[in-house]
Amino acid sequence: MFRLLLVLFIIIVLSDSLQSAHNKTKKTKNGSKASKNGTRVSKNNSSGELFPKTFSGTRSANSSQEYIPLPHELNISNHHILNYTAGTLSTRIIPVAYVVAILVGIPSNCLVLACLSGKTLNLSSATLYVSLAVSDLLLLVSLTLKVHYHLNGNSWVFGELACKLVTACFYGNIYCSIHAHMCISMLRYLAVVHPFLYRGLSKRSCTILASLTVWVVFVTAMAPELLVRQSYYLTNVGITTCHDFLPYKDEPYNYLIPYRLCLICLGFVFPFAVIIFAYGSIVYQLSRSSCDWALYIKASTLVFTIFLLCYTPGNAVHLIHYIRLYTSQQDDFYIYFSVAVCLCCFHSCLDPFLSYFITKTANSRVEFISLASFSPRTSATA
């Protein structure tokens, strides 16, 4: 009996041992299959092609066992793009242009604000010029970090938050400056073409409301730039870029293309059309006057021409870039935009001189021209 129980005990122990060994072997095989499948899926996911803001690239995979792609890395394989990030244009010419704009623009715009701070007369025009000077100053201040970025080989070292703020400040203040010019041109248009309507307007209230509206609209319009990541690390170059490379194929970014197309239309196309109408009407009206306004006409034409030359190339190329990116995913126009946008920065440092020139050209204390010096025929036709 004892021997029989001993034999049964040995059989049970051996059976449990064999079953345990079998379960361990099965789990090991299943784990190996799952690991292989996970690796295969991760490899498939890591090969997805991206469409950054300027140049095409792919997300880079890290060296971990499961090949999980890092969310803030891009891989660039185009040698033309690599040459741009390290080339003379991007690392020398563009930052030098920014430095010139900063050295001229910041002191001159500060001088404008200092002069206007004690101005009590013509508050309407002073309000618009203060708005213009502030937007120009903010734009030029944002260029200081961009200068370091370009001189450092297009490598951003100030962190993601600073990159977002600089991007929003840069584009937002370009559009604020353009709209400030639009408001100033409309003020001149009313003073010249509709002098009686101009005299009856509450100019202080209108200019303050217009300036506040412009700032509120474009501060709000820049919010999407603050909600998405702007800096990405390029693995095969070893630099962190700011705003120049964005994965537009990803869900948060694919909505930015139509958003920026609308922003360009609102920030440039619309005010540009208004400014053309305003200056065209001013020149036409003054040319019909019996008074000699030739000098003022030339001054207005010069101011408009400089505005045209500075703002049109950058915004036109920017518009074409996003249209091509949206329709055919072509991104080669961004290089031209990075050069043309320097002209917008130059206009910010020229604004104080142009404003002084246009206000001193006309013999007036009422918004750049003397309505009293108009001939009766001019007033009647106005």
**Residue indicated by tokens 């101011």:** 303
**What integer pLDDT is reported at residue 77 of this predicted model?**
64
- CA–CA separation, 201 and 209 (whole Å): 13
Q: What is the pLDDT of residues 280-313, one digit of tens each?
A: 999 998 888 777 778 888 888 888 999 999 999 9
Residues 167 and 242 sit within 8 Å (Cβ to Cβ) = yes
- CA–CA separation, 322 and 246 (whole Å): 13
**What integer pLDDT is reported at residue 379 of this predicted model?**
40
**What integer pLDDT is reported at residue 316 of this predicted model?**
92
**What integer pLDDT is reported at residue 255 of this predicted model?**
79
pTM (2 d.p.): 0.76
**What integer pLDDT is reported at residue 296 of this predicted model?**
82
Q: Domain boundaries in the chain?
A: 96-233+251-381
**Residue indicated by tokens 């010029």:** 129
Q: How many CB atoms lie within 10 A of CB 276?
A: 14
Which pair of tokens denotes residue 221? 């319009």
**What integer pLDDT is reported at residue 310 of this predicted model?**
94
User: Hey, what CATH topology would domain 96-233+251-381 get?
Assistant: Rhopdopsin 7-helix transmembrane proteins (1.20.1070)
User: What type of residue is 221?
Assistant: A
- CA–CA separation, 260 and 110 (whole Å): 31
**What integer pLDDT is reported at residue 52 of this predicted model?**
42
Q: Which of 297, 290, 294 is nearest to 376 (CA)?
A: 290
**What integer pLDDT is reported at residue 71 of this predicted model?**
58
End-to-end CA distance of the chain: 129
Show the low-confidence residues of the chain (pLDDT under 70): 1-71, 75-78, 119-121, 248, 251-252, 331, 361-382
CA 88 to chain centre: 23
**What integer pLDDT is reported at residue 13 of this predicted model?**
41
- CA–CA separation, 273 and 315 (whole Å): 13
CA distances from 257 to 53, 147, 166, 246, 323 (A): 9, 26, 19, 11, 8
**222 three-class SS:** coil
Q: Strand 231-234: give its sheet, edge to edge.
A: 73-74, 231-234, 239-242
